[in-house]
Structure 1
Amino acid sequence: MTAAEGVRIVVIGSTMVDMISYMPRVPDAGETLVGDHFALGFGGKGANQAVMARRLGADVWMVGCLGVDAFGDMTLENFAASGIDTTFVTRTPDVSSGVAPIWVEAGGDNRIVCVPGANACMTEDQARTAVESVAGVDVVIGQFEVPQNVTTAGFRAAKERGAITVLNPAPAAEISPDLLAVTDWLIPNEVEFAFLSKDSGISSGPTDAAVSDLAQRLGVHIVATLGEAGAAVFNGTRPVVRITPVPVEVVDTTGAGDAFVGAFSYGLAAGLSPATAARLGCACATSSVTRAGTQSSFPLAAQIGEALAWATNVP
């Protein structure tokens, strides 16, 4: 399979500048450690998902808010270099652009602190106008690093236009009923799945029964991402489908979930089945963990071709 043409995706979400420290292990309280090395990169769940979808070939519009600062300037330059439309990215002089200090341990596990900054200044009108303005939009993506009411407004406009809505409920939080009502696909990781399931009596993790139960209780389709174990897909009618990725040597897991969301959303927009779209998501996420960084780790042209081939070569 080759990348599809004419795919149009709007991402309502966050932008962050990642400040990544690599270390043998994280320090204990009150302890100082000497790290291995440091990297400054571009992140934010919304921006990451937008970049992944764009690398697959989608036309992508980013909806977000930046501060009037150097990080904001850098972020706009990065979007331009990535080929992402920033017509609907606003700037505010009142707060800083979003930042994310990240610790990465040997073995690739990470710990992340998000400081939203200007991301919290997005408005419902901004999201609604963006979705209504993009001709032929196929998929609208949202996350929890911007206010839920903003995402709700954008999703409501998407549903009115017949577009698919994909919500990544991260960081873990309760989902407003209004947002659930206009969400088609929910993509939690294992931590977020456990949080959303805490009131249902589920304690066994994302088993097939737990995935289908949560989907039916919330009234959505679900893809639970499971790290190196892949993903579990439930579309509301067929049994849960498990996707198992190819084992790789992990360098850095930062951004892998966002690579999955961006690729899965692209797959849906391109007309792939949910299971095949999830295979594409797993392939892109798996590729990303073999390299350091966030957006800098996402697959490029050669790896994209390999990911598409693996996703569509269903045994």
Structure 2
Amino acid sequence: MHGYDLLVVGSANADLVVGVDRRPAAGETVLGSDLAIHPGGKGANQAAAAARLGARTTLLARVGDDAYGRLLAQAQRTAGAETAGLLEGKDAPTGVALITVDSAGDNSIVVAQGANARLTPDDVAGARPLFEAAAVVSLQLEIPLETVAAAARTAAETSARVVLNPSPPAPLPEDVLALCDPLVVNEHEARRMLDQHAHDPGRHTPGGAQDGAASAEPQEPEEWATALLGIGPRSVVVTLGAEGALVAGPDGMTRVPSPRVEAVDTTGAGDAFTGALAMRLGRGDTLEQAVRYAVRVGSYTVTRAGAQESYPSAAELEKAVTAEATAR
């Protein structure tokens, strides 16, 4: 019996959001809405999503000794996550995402990494008891790559399953890719990872063929998944937005459709999907079972505004599933 279904290692940001009629051109000032401040960051989002669903969850992240850090810690506690791994320091402020959203719903984001950039392999080593207690470790790339690698390797040493979402996309060490079970990507991330791999002449496929000799660029999700499996991960999940997700592994590929919903806001939906997927794997689901659950969580999330505040509890999700079945 593990102490945690899920340990998330990643970023924690305060999201500062302003609505504008249009984004300013260079040198221009525009007036916006009142400033809204929300808890965010891919790591914090995933941990909050899993905890709200009832998972035993904790987050390893760094925040500053400031109001935003306290906001993020309280948001984790409110969601039901433990904060034993939330490290506070005076050497850097809490990470902040500056977000403008125009009248068409398009956004522009600038991230000041702050304390996220100070999460180190030494922090991972110091948190080893959390890894030893976790069934699954979930990672993203909004923290230093060396820290991601240290976390993946520590997870392997402690027999925890590794779930990794390469966002924002960056080349991963081959031994880290080989631990991913699954690698979770959307269309953009799949294309970027394959392009990065193909243009790195020092890398080779597990079978020994150099990636520079790859054939035509994959165009379909099944082709992306096949190509991604070829660069090393044990399994791959490709998220397809309103179309659901594709599961790919040693036993073949399966498309998992998404319930039809009216989307209001897609902010943080990918994090909710990954958090739900990881926690269900931690509960003992097969990968396909976990993806089927995560697709429902993601589809529910987009029907409400915001990121963490849109994430469902287990009871809310069950109510939505029951309503859907009754409507058929």
TM over 0.5: yes
1:266 maps onto 2:303 in alignment: no
Partners in 2 of 1:185 and 1:124 — Cα distance?
A: 22
C-alpha displacement of 1:310: 10
C-alpha displacement of 1:37: 5.8
1:193 maps onto 2:229 in alignment: no
1:160 maps onto 2:160 in alignment: no
Q: Which has the higher contact order (CA 8 A, sep 6+)?
A: 1
Equivalent residues of 1:108, 1:250 under 8 A apart: no
Matched residue count? 307
Normalising by structure 1, we get a TM-score of: 0.87
Partners in 1 of 2:58 and 2:272 — Cα distance?
A: 17
* Greater mean alpha carbon deviation, residues 29-38 or residues 226-235: 29-38
Partners in 2 of 1:135 and 1:162 — Cα distance?
A: 8
1:214 to 228, 231, 236: 228
C-alpha displacement of 1:271: 1.7
1:247 maps onto 2:252 in alignment: no
* Greater mean alpha carbon deviation, residues 53-62 or residues 20-29: 20-29
* Greater mean alpha carbon deviation, residues 205-214 or residues 185-194: 205-214
2:144 to 144, 147, 171: 147
Partners in 2 of 1:71 and 1:201 — Cα distance?
A: 48
Task: Give 3-state SS (helix, strand or coil) of 2:83's partner.
Answer: strand
Task: Give 3-state SS (helix, strand or coil) of 2:112's partner.
Answer: coil
* Greater mean alpha carbon deviation, residues 281-290 or residues 209-218: 209-218
Judging changes above 3 Å, is the alpha-carbon distance between structure 1 residues 209 and 112 closer, same or farther for their aligned structure 2 residues?
same
C-alpha displacement of 1:299: 1.2
Partners in 2 of 1:73 and 1:48 — Cα distance?
A: 16
Unmatched 5+ stretches in structure 1: none
Unmatched 5+ stretches in structure 2: 199-213
**Partner residue of 1:304?**
317
C-alpha displacement of 1:59: 0.8
1:83 maps onto 2:97 in alignment: no
**Partner residue of 2:205?**
none
Judging changes above 3 Å, is the alpha-carbon distance between structure 1 residues 216 and 53 closer, same or farther for their aligned structure 2 residues?
same
Partners in 2 of 1:261 and 1:120 — Cα distance?
A: 22
Share of identical aligned residues, percent?
A: 37
**Partner residue of 1:119?**
116
C-alpha displacement of 1:19: 1.3
**Partner residue of 1:72?**
69
Equivalent residues of 1:18, 1:102 under 8 A apart: yes
Partners in 2 of 1:88 and 1:35 — Cα distance?
A: 36
**Residues 19-56 of structure 1: per-residue CA shift (max 9 Å, x gap):** 12344554555555554664210000000000111111
Partners in 2 of 1:46 and 1:109 — Cα distance?
A: 23
Structure 2 counterpart of 1:213, one-letter code? A
Task: Give 3-state SS (helix, strand or coil) of 1:192's partner.
Answer: helix
Partners in 1 of 2:179 and 2:192 — Cα distance?
A: 20
Task: Give 3-state SS (helix, strand or coil) of 1:85's partner.
Answer: coil
* Greater mean alpha carbon deviation, residues 54-63 or residues 27-36: 27-36
**Residues 237-280 of structure 1: per-residue CA shift (max 9 Å, x gap):** 22x21122122222211101000100011121122221221121
**Partner residue of 1:203?**
217
1:234 to 216, 223, 248: 248
Task: Give 3-state SS (helix, strand or coil) of 2:137's partner.
Answer: strand
